[in-house]
Amino acid sequence: MTHEELMTDGTQYCCYCGDEKVRFQCCGENHFQTFAQMPMDEQDEFLEAELVQRAEDAFVRSEQALRDRSNT
């Protein structure tokens, strides 16, 4: 998601572990906030973590593709 999409998204994230809210509590806490409610420094950290995750996912996919090609 882009910054603009996140600013209007209603998804809530834990204030402590950053996980998306899927039930009443996640890491033992029950305080949640949307991206728009996060302080700017937390928004920056969130976006950076999202970029790192995307890069890691892309790396895993490319490694898998290389393995698949070498097995054929």
Look at the chain and report how many structural domains it folds into.
Answer: 1
The number of beta carbons lying within 10 Å of the beta carbon of residue 43 is: 16
Which residue type occupies 23? R
Distance, in Å, from the CA atom of 50 to the CA atom of 67, rounded to the nearest integer, reads 26
The model's pTM is 0.69
Query: Considering the chain, what is the average pLDDT of its residues?
Result: 89
Distance, in Å, from the CA atom of 57 to the CA atom of 67, rounded to the nearest integer, reads 15
- pLDDT (tens digit, 9 = 90+) per residue, 28-54? 888 999 999 999 999 999 899 888 988
Question: What's the half-sphere exposure (Cβ side, CA atoms, 13 Å) at 18?
Answer: 10
Domain of 42 in residue numbering reads as: 3-70
